Structure 1
Amino acid sequence: MPRTLATVEHAVQLLELFDADHTEWSLSALARHVGQPTSTVHEGLSTLTRSGLLTRVGRGRYRLGWRLLKLSSALYGSLPWYAPAHAAMERVARGTHLLAFLCVLDGNAPADGRVLCVARSVQGRDGPPVAGELDFELPAHATASGKLLLALSGRPLPQPAQAFTDQTLTAPQTWEAEADHIRRSGHAATADEWAPGTGGLAVAIRGEGEAVLAALGVSLPTPRLRERDTLLRVLQDAADEVSWDLGSRRGR
């Protein structure tokens, strides 16, 4: 691999370690975490700091830089569906008192169909914590949003499919039957498939030509799946409203 490409990939890997649980890293802690020499890690951090993607705060400590806000604003500005979908997600969260989210398929990883949670809302949420409250990348085969997006895109079950619990769907032949049901019903559901005690429901937000833009869903304690029909109506109404405004004529 050319040195320039290797340097960029290394810098990106370091940047991805900054998240809600790790908003600040020291040089030494990062070096220990990635198992690389301090000099190598320092080179990557220096590259990110010079570009404004990281900022140095104190001796040998780093945080995300302000330039990321500019990049994120440009990204969301390029997605006309994001603002109305985000508003719908917030309404769902307030109306259900559950963790609501927006997810998309990662177009840069067509082989494994990575699912990315691009927004979530906990407005008014009650009840115990659920799996995935802080995760950006979700297991496609073990989450409602992942199953929905995989099925509607016609993708196979990612292999190997990790079994997170004894309820996780891992068999390709079983997936084909479930994917067909998702396409016919227009929604996906999970129960204890990613983590015991956590379930999920998801429906699609569509645009012109009925293109699937994102999954709108909720994550909830499994016992609350007894409210499945009511929750699906809330989700579908919210998704249909956004989809109609974006040019879809399905469901209305």
Structure 2
Amino acid sequence: MPSPSLLSGAVDVLTAFDADHTEWRLSDLSRHLGVPTSTLHEQLLALCDTGLLVRVGRGRYRLGWRLLKLSSALYGSLPWYAPAHSAMERVARATHRLAFLCVLDGQRVLCVARSVQGRDGPPVAGELDFELPAHATASGKLLLALAGRPLPAGASRFTPLTMTGAEAWEAQAAHIRADGHAITADEWAQGTASLAVPIRDAHGEVLAALGVSVPTPRIRQGTSLLRVLLDAASEVSWTLGWRPE
């Protein structure tokens, strides 16, 4: 059985690949991860042997087809993912903004999908991040509040507006539960705002957050953005059997 350190190293290698880094050279990846080239080379060969990576050209690596098989199996086990993903893309086309789906994984908020069409305007914070700060994003706050979770311990302060106080969080969480949506502005990064609403299953359990991220000046369009999000999320939840009173 592989040791925890070997598994951790393999995870670090795989997660180094993203939309900005679809390929890595050994030397560049070594510098990025802070791992000796000799150690990293062994890890890359082992991952290539399993099909999780593939070697292309001379000394360059990219993700392998086996990951696509694994991701297909994962999505196939989540009946809500396909309709939620379609709703996310509709939101992106309707708002011309970055739309996304986030889930709560233990104490972590993970962005499991982002829109690839219908967007314009300047970049916003977190366009490529997989794990989001739960206390500084609308999706994170929504998922924490609806799950009745406290503010994460040791929450980092990204801007002067980042919420880090437990008492203030309890008050805000109560408002989020009452309103049914969450909104942030300049809490993760100056100039970035976000808005999120829940997607529910037939029993009313929150499956994911559907959100948009916009430049802060655009948050004044919050009412129209919220309506688009609520309509899209309600359609998915209704499809999944949710019948609110």
User: TM-score, with normalisation over the residues of structure 1?
Assistant: 0.93
Which residue is equivalent to 1:240? Answer: 234
Offset from partner CA, 1:150-180 (integer Å, 9 cap, x none): 1111111112111111111111111111111
1:215 maps to which of 209, 213, 221: 209
2:127 maps to which of 122, 126, 133: 133
Give distance in 2, aligned partners of 1:105 and 1:43.
34
- CA distance change for structure 1 residues 37 and 129 in 2, over 3 Å: closer, same or farther? closer
Give distance in 2, aligned partners of 1:117 and 1:34.
22
- Gap regions ≥5 residues in structure 1: none
Which residue is equivalent to 2:156? Answer: 162
Q: 1:184, CA displacement in angstroms?
A: 0.7
Q: 1:42, CA displacement in angstroms?
A: 1.4
Q: 1:29, CA displacement in angstroms?
A: 2.0
Amino acid in the other structure paired with 1:51: T
How many residues align? The count is 245
Amino acid in the other structure paired with 2:167: Q
My pick for the range that moved more, 225-234 or 145-154, is 225-234
Q: 1:130, CA displacement in angstroms?
A: 1.1
Offset from partner CA, 1:13-71 (integer Å, 9 cap, x none): 11111111111112222222222222211121112111101001122221111111111
Which residue is equivalent to 2:98? Answer: 99
Which residue is equivalent to 2:39? Answer: 40
Give distance in 2, aligned partners of 1:126 and 1:28.
35
Which residue is equivalent to 1:24? Answer: 23
User: TM-score, with normalisation over the residues of structure 2?
Assistant: 0.96
> What secondary structure, in the 3-state scheme, does the structure 2 residue paired with 1:79 have?
coil
Amino acid in the other structure paired with 2:59: G
1:198 maps to which of 186, 192, 203: 192
Q: 1:3, CA displacement in angstroms?
A: 5.7
Q: Are residues 1:177 and 2:171 paired?
A: yes
My pick for the range that moved more, 233-242 or 5-14, is 5-14
Which residue is equivalent to 1:78? Answer: 77
2:183 maps to which of 183, 189, 202: 189
The two structures, once aligned, show a CA RMSD in angstroms of 1.4
Offset from partner CA, 1:207-247 (integer Å, 9 cap, x none): 02101000001101111111111211111111111101101
Give distance in 2, aligned partners of 1:120 and 1:178.
26
Give distance in 2, aligned partners of 1:21 and 1:146.
24
Give distance in 2, aligned partners of 1:93 and 1:3.
42
**Identity of paired residues, percent?**
72
Q: 1:137, CA displacement in angstroms?
A: 1.2
Amino acid in the other structure paired with 1:236: L
Q: 1:122, CA displacement in angstroms?
A: 4.5
Which residue is equivalent to 1:153? Answer: 147
Kept in 2, the 8 Å contact 1:202–1:218? The answer is yes
Kept in 2, the 8 Å contact 1:98–1:122? The answer is no
> What secondary structure, in the 3-state scheme, does the structure 2 residue paired with 1:56 have?
strand
Q: Are residues 1:119 and 2:118 paired?
A: no
- CA distance change for structure 1 residues 206 and 3 in 2, over 3 Å: closer, same or farther? closer
Q: 1:197, CA displacement in angstroms?
A: 0.9
Amino acid in the other structure paired with 1:240: S
Amino acid in the other structure paired with 2:132: L
Give distance in 2, aligned partners of 1:25 and 1:222.
34
Q: 1:249, CA displacement in angstroms?
A: 1.0
